[in-house]
Structure 1
Amino acid sequence: MKNYDIFKIMYFFDWIDSLKLNQIVFTKIDSIRLTHFIKT
């Protein structure tokens, strides 16, 4: 049972990391799109 809990916690942190990564990627894409929009 304890191993399962540890696995859940690790999975949860992985999920949070991926969320952060997605947020960073999306903000970069948004800024690129914004600068492109301003240029044209």
Structure 2
Amino acid sequence: MLTAPNEDHRPLYAAKDIVPFYLEHTPKIFPQQRYFFFCLCI
């Protein structure tokens, strides 16, 4: 996220935007089904 450039070749996102982004999108990025399957394999 910090290396994605905008039109002015500046970072598209600030460091302060990373945590809210992951808090909002974590369920889509890492579905819970994977964690459940992973836990069963251990």
Same fold (TM over 0.5): no
Larger Rg: 1
Query: Relative to total residues, which structure has the larger helix share, 1 or 2?
Result: 1
- Give the number of the structure with larger relative contact order, counting CA–CA contacts within 8 Å between residues 6 or more apart: 2
